Amino acid sequence: MSTKKISLTGIKPTGTPHLGNYLGAIKPALEMANSGDFEGYYFIADYHSLITVHKPETLKEYIYEVAATWLALGLDPKKITLYQQSHVPEIMELNWILSCFTAKGLMNRAHAYKAMIQDNEERKKDLDHGVNMGLYTYPVLMAADILFINSNVVPVGADQVQHIEIARDIANAFNHVYGEVFTLPEAKVQEGELVPGLDGRKMSKSYDNYIPLFLPEKKLKKLINKIKTDSTEPSVPKDPEDSIIFDFYKLFATEEQIADLAAWYRRGIGWGEAKLELFNVMNDHLKGPREIYNELMADKSKIDKILEEGAARVRPKAQEILKEVKKSIGVL
C-alpha cells in the first residue's frame, strides 16, 4: 500500500482546452504528478458541468476532449489514476452527508455565487436570477470530491484557494462531531504561466482571444497571423519585451531560441517573420501531442477503457472511507 501523500486534481469539462489552460494549469499539474512525490488522482468533473452544460451530446464530447487532452500531454494512466466523477457514486452520497455539516453562510460567501449576485445587482435583475442550486452548493460537491479519498494536497490556481478552505471548514465541522474521520486538505497554489491572449489580455474564452490547443497546422498558423501588430517597418529595431508575439514565443522556445529572436527584434524584424518564428516553435511543441489527441478522439473506446479502469481503482478507496463515515453518523 502506498505511503505517499495523495494529490487530487479536478478538471471541469466545459469546452475545448486552450493554450492558457495548458500552460497555466495542465503543465504544472502534470509536472507535479510525474515528479513521483505524490499518489496522483485526476478526475473529470462532469457533474459540476451540469451547472451550465445542458446538452447531453455536448457534455459527452467535452468529457472526451478533456480526457484526450490530458492523456496527449503526458498523463500516464498507469501511474496516475484518471477517472470520471459520475463513475464514482460514493462521491454523491458523501455530498449529501457533507451538506448537513455546511453552514448556509459559508455558501453565501463563495466567490462564484457572490459574483453572480453582484452581476445581477449591476444589471438591476432579481439577485438570484440564473442561480441554480448546483452553482450555490458547488463548493460542497467540490469538498466531497476532495474528501472522499482523504486527499492531502490539491493543486489549484490562486482563484480556487477558497474552495479548499471551504472543504477544510466542512471537514472540521464533521470531525468536531465524530472525531478525526477526514484528512484536512492543503491547497498548493500552482505557479503556472500567465498566458496572454491574442489581444494582450489574459487568454480566455470569455474574451474570444484564445488559441485551442490542438488546432490543425493551417488553422494554427492562420490564428497566429491574426495577432495584432503596429505598422512599424521591418528594418526598424523593436523591443522584444513589448511584443505579444515574443511573449508567446518565450512560453515554448529554448533559452537559446529566445536570445536569438530577441537579437533579431533589436536588429529589425518584420512582423510576418516574427509570427512565422512563433508558429514554428509552437507547432513543433504541439505536433506530437496533437497526433495523440487526434488518435484518441478517433477511437474513443480507448478513453472509455482508461476512465473505467480509473474508476475501478478509486472506488474501493472511496467505499472504505464512506463506510467509516456512515459508521460514524450511525447508519451502519
pLDDT given for residue 100 in this prediction = 98
Residue 196, strand partner residues: 202
63, pLDDT greater than 60: yes
Which pLDDT tens digit goes with each residue over 77-128?
999 999 999 999 999 999 999 999 999 999 999 999 999 999 999 999 999 9
Give the burial class of 176: count Cβ atoms within 10 A of its Cβ; 0-12 exposed, 13-18 middle, 19 or more buried.
Answer: exposed
- DSSP code per residue over 286-322: HHHHHHHHHHHHH-THHHHHHHHHHHHHHHHHHHHHH
Q: Say if residue 145 carries a ligand binding annotation.
A: yes
- Whether the domain at 5-195+300-329 and the domain at 205-292 fall into the same CATH topology: no
pLDDT given for residue 219 in this prediction = 94
270, pLDDT greater than 60: yes
pLDDT given for residue 27 in this prediction = 82
Q: Say if residue 202 carries a ligand binding annotation.
A: yes
Residue scoring higher pLDDT (289 or 205): 289
Q: Say if residue 159 carries a ligand binding annotation.
A: yes
Q: Say if residue 20 carries a ligand binding annotation.
A: yes
Q: Say if residue 12 carries a ligand binding annotation.
A: yes
- DSSP code per residue over 169-205: HHHHHHHHHH-S-SPPPEEEE------B-TTSSBP-G
Mean pLDDT of 284-304: 96
320, pLDDT greater than 60: yes
Which pLDDT tens digit goes with each residue over 14-50?
888 888 888 777 887 888 877 878 899 999 999 999 9
pLDDT given for residue 198 in this prediction = 79
pLDDT given for residue 20 in this prediction = 80
Contact status, residue 184 vs residue 147, Cβ threshold 8 Å: no
Q: Say if residue 21 carries a ligand binding annotation.
A: yes
Q: Which CATH superfamily is domain 205-292 in?
A: Tyrosyl-Transfer RNA Synthetase (1.10.240.10)
Q: Say if residue 272 carries a ligand binding annotation.
A: no
pLDDT given for residue 193 in this prediction = 60
Q: Say if residue 105 carries a ligand binding annotation.
A: no
Give the burial class of 272: count Cβ atoms within 10 A of its Cβ; 0-12 exposed, 13-18 middle, 19 or more buried.
Answer: exposed
Distance CA 189, CA 191 (A): 6
Mean pLDDT of 220-234: 92
Which pLDDT tens digit goes with each residue over 19-28?
888 877 788 7
Distance CA 303, CA 305 (A): 5
Q: Say if residue 199 carries a ligand binding annotation.
A: no
pLDDT given for residue 194 in this prediction = 66
Which pLDDT tens digit goes with each residue over 196-207?
777 777 777 767
Tell me how many degrees the CA angle 95-98-103 measures, rounded to the nearest 5: 125
Tell me how far CA of residue 40 lies from CA of 36, 89, 127, 217, in angstroms: 9, 20, 40, 33
pLDDT given for residue 110 in this prediction = 94
Residue scoring higher pLDDT (70 or 2): 70
The answer for residues whose C-beta is within 8 angstroms of residue 278's C-beta and 6 or more apart is 224, 245, 248, 249
Q: Say if residue 139 carries a ligand binding annotation.
A: no
Q: Say if residue 205 carries a ligand binding annotation.
A: yes
Contact status, residue 50 vs residue 90, Cβ threshold 8 Å: no
The residue extents of the domains of the chain are 5-195+300-329, 205-292
Tell me how many degrees the CA angle 63-67-70 measures, rounded to the nearest 5: 145
CATH topology for the 5-195+300-329 domain: Rossmann fold (3.40.50)
- Nine-digit cell string for 268: 529589425
240 Cα distance to chain centroid: 30
158, pLDDT greater than 90: no
Q: Say if residue 195 carries a ligand binding annotation.
A: yes
Radius of gyration of the chain (CA): 22
Q: Say if residue 167 carries a ligand binding annotation.
A: no
- Nine-digit cell string for 64: 472526451
